[in-house]
Structure 1
């Protein structure tokens, strides 16, 4: 059975497999969560049952068992530990990037795209079947034609999607630049990169500058669009030419295979009959050529419009901001319209995790008591785990930034003292930073190099700019502390709710 017969026999299985794969990928997060939660509660062989055999204490975290922390770590992957301020930062980033309300490409649209790819590949495979590997067997030619057609179809889908996204991003850039011109600004509008972590960095800037600062591209350009047009035109014309050539070949073969014998017929009658037969054959061939070429032109037009549809899909879905996709994921991939929606999902995960943790603790106590071991009394909760994780991250961040923050405060105090005691036009000297107290990394963070700035004099404008930068860094540290406090309040509210 060759490849074409195999496809004809099991085409329904191939389509079903593709549909199932798309469904699984589109709902992967939900499927993975439900599968893990079910497996933890599965009787006898579930993960709770297996973890209950491990009663070893965790040497790194006092009061915890290793099995307890393993369970909590698995459930913690499915919960977004975010403060309301962080949630608002994600929504604000999308708004400033012009991506509010946009989504990734839906699963049903991908299903349609895959169907079109299969249809295109199938059509191309018939066109290319006789020309891929001349001289090879029919089965080899079929394999090669299907492979080449599939690769070509995937390239077309990819390029049309990218060109649609490019056209959308160009429209956002053009909108920002139009607002710049309408505001009476002169010169060249040049944006900088503002990351999601420092979304408030350009709060004092107009919206069109804020938008440009978050876009992947800062200028209007069309590399993918031009490449897609060239590729589509080449494939449309090339496939039409190949189809026309195949039709002409078939007509010639039919003519050669239908030679009429006039043996025994008088020559005059044979000549008249042959002339009439040739005329009829020519008329038939002409009609076949016209009908075939018209069909091929219609197929080429359909092909072009299918590619235009791919461009429309790319324009409608996707993001223009450099980190808009990360912000979109942080908002639950569009699942959470408000912060309360996210809290509801988080509370559901916390409840499930706490129920599994209590089941594990009961099994541990029961098994240890039955086998004469030391009595185990565990009082840890899943909320305790989340809180400790948040504190660990905060402490780690403080250690990373602590030395730099200390040097910043020292520089700020010294410079402010000099500013208060010195006239405006008197140069101020940056304080010396000892290498024994501040590492090179910390010095780089506060922009004070021990080997270069001990004797560097700063004018008054540089003085003010540096103080502003240091105040901004202090405000960011204060914001992080506020987020930790907000997390503590949320955990307390959940405990009260329970």
Structure 2
């Protein structure tokens, strides 16, 4: 078998080299995909005739904030890369909090190298019986073609089993978290214990703090995708993996043993091998055979020795096949254990783990974030400066009004980092407004629930006799006091309305040149 494998590798070394290089390239692309996309985008912007900078330079529309629309488009395009490659440092704290609440802070995804190693282990173990199976799947094929088929069958079996075992491990981990939620919920002695089913969940990685005041089991539940009854359910992937493992192990053992029996039968029915051993019967001719009384003990001894040899050979083969089957099952159990120890059950745990990366503290993450942000900012600023030069050239060639000339004259004052900080501030204010609305909604819901469940105090019977030592009744509010209270209330409402209008004004999109022209035209028509 090893000779055939070596011959196959030697014959197809060019193809194998290409496959290995392709796998390495795919691994590199998957690990640094965002950086690869940034490089491709930068190259596309810089292309001489069909580049995006050349196309954006023909757009001379002016926004209300004094920027060209093309400048904002370019800056926002590269600002998105900063958010993808390196999240804001505040997200580092949110990611750690998210993983801590879902009990997955110390976990990691299974790396590409470990996946390849696991596939290689299963591939090597499956290659032995895959070679036997290739004889049945490719009947009448040559030895070379059977070796090639064995490689294909072994690779297919290894990929399928690695996927099944990994999913089974993930499922066991998720079932463990659901069991923890159920156990903690059952032991919660609070009379106002919340119901697990039918809960509206708005907790995400962005607003991880919404359930800070909830019990730990609810924090886990908010980050899991469970069934309607919030139970473990049927372990589908585990059942499929167990059936696949046992089926492949038993089938491989059976096929191996049947193949051995066929080879043994072929040896028995074939031409007898030459026997160079000395016996008493060789001294006699066929005509002068020994009497049966003398030949029978020798025949019995030879037959017993042959049976013992065959029995030892059968036992050795069966033991070997049993050991291989046990080794195969142990490798699959190891795959399930790796799947249980790695990977995430939380809906956004993988993204949170990606944000944290290999950084041990926020300070280290901030340093790395600043380096990444500055590197992308330099690339974006280079393309923005090129765009501004092209806009000036296009404006000089086509002829523009004084407003365009003034904006083009101060192009150097508009740089990428200014756009980045403005967009981050706008996003921050939008998140703050959304969180304030969400908090008010939750507070109103809790107040309404508390009011509906509060016990009503029984009314005391009225008595005509005066009550001694009673608490004095507060005097009625005068007209001046009522006016002051109402004026204060009106001022507070006006201040809140003004704050909301300013927040809405900041959140509005920047007015384009056409929108500004239409608005000014309407205002002029109204004044006239």
TM-score bucket (shorter structure): 0.5 to 0.7
* Alignment correspondent of 2:196: 190
Match of 2:113 among 92, 95, 108: 108
* Alignment correspondent of 1:249: 262
Given that residues 22 and 110 in structure 1 are in contact (C-alpha distance below 8 angstroms), is that contact kept between their aligned partners in structure 2? no
* Alignment correspondent of 1:17: 21
Given that residues 253 and 321 in structure 2 are in contact (C-alpha distance below 8 angstroms), is that contact kept between their aligned partners in structure 1? yes
More relative contact order, 1 or 2 (CA 8 Å, 6+ apart): 2
C-alpha distance 367-215 of structure 1, shift in aligned 2 (>3 A)? closer
Displacement of 1:234 in angstroms is: 1.9
* Alignment correspondent of 1:55: 57
Displacement of 1:335 in angstroms is: 4.0
| 342-351 or 96-105, larger mean C-alpha shift | 342-351
- Determine the C-alpha separation between the residues in 2 that align with 1:121 and 1:183: 50
**Superposed, which structure 2 residues align to 1:349-360 within 5 Å?**
349-360=372-383
Map Cα deviations across residues 68-105 of structure 1 (whole Å, 9 max, x no partner).
84365145323358666554333222211111122211
What TM-score, normalized by structure 1, do the two folds share?
Answer: 0.65
Displacement of 1:16 in angstroms is: 3.4
C-alpha distance 66-34 of structure 1, shift in aligned 2 (>3 A)? closer
Given that residues 163 and 311 in structure 1 are in contact (C-alpha distance below 8 angstroms), is that contact kept between their aligned partners in structure 2? yes
Match of 1:98 among 103, 107, 125: 103
- Determine the C-alpha separation between the residues in 1 that align with 2:232 and 2:42: 50
What TM-score, normalized by structure 2, do the two folds share?
Answer: 0.62
* Alignment correspondent of 1:78: 82
**Superposed, which structure 2 residues align to 1:150-299 within 5 Å?**
150-184=155-189, 190=196, 192=199, 194=201, 195-196=203-204, 197-217=206-226, 218-221=230-233, 222-259=235-272, 266=286, 268=289, 282-299=307-324
* Structure 1, unaligned runs of 5 or more: 426-473, 486-498
> Which is higher, the Rg of structure 1 or of structure 2?
2
Given that residues 131 and 146 in structure 2 are in contact (C-alpha distance below 8 angstroms), is that contact kept between their aligned partners in structure 1? no
Displacement of 1:146 in angstroms is: 4.5
- Determine the C-alpha separation between the residues in 2 that align with 1:288 and 1:8: 34
Displacement of 1:304 in angstroms is: 0.9
**Superposed, which structure 2 residues align to 1:376-455 within 5 Å?**
377=409, 378-379=411-412, 380-390=414-424
Map Cα deviations across residues 216-257 of structure 1 (whole Å, 9 max, x no partner).
334234332233222212221221111111111111112223
Given that residues 359 and 365 in structure 2 are in contact (C-alpha distance below 8 angstroms), is that contact kept between their aligned partners in structure 1? yes
Question: The residue matched to 1:79 in structure 2 has which SS?
Answer: helix
Question: The residue matched to 2:222 in structure 1 has which SS?
Answer: helix
| 345-354 or 140-149, larger mean C-alpha shift | 140-149
- Determine the C-alpha separation between the residues in 2 that align with 1:361 and 1:229: 58
Alignment partner of 1:310 is 2:338 = no
- Determine the C-alpha separation between the residues in 2 that align with 1:107 and 1:260: 53
Map Cα deviations across residues 408-464 of structure 1 (whole Å, 9 max, x no partner).
99xx9xx99xx9xxxx99xxxxxxxxxxxxxxxxxxxxxxxxxxxxxxxxxxxxxxx
Displacement of 1:303 in angstroms is: 0.5
Displacement of 1:173 in angstroms is: 2.6
Q: What is the CA RMSD across the aligned residues, in angstroms?
A: 4.9
C-alpha distance 313-166 of structure 1, shift in aligned 2 (>3 A)? same
Given that residues 165 and 315 in structure 1 are in contact (C-alpha distance below 8 angstroms), is that contact kept between their aligned partners in structure 2? yes
Match of 1:132 among 114, 118, 137: 137
* Alignment correspondent of 1:495: none
* Alignment correspondent of 1:27: 31
| 262-271 or 386-395, larger mean C-alpha shift | 262-271
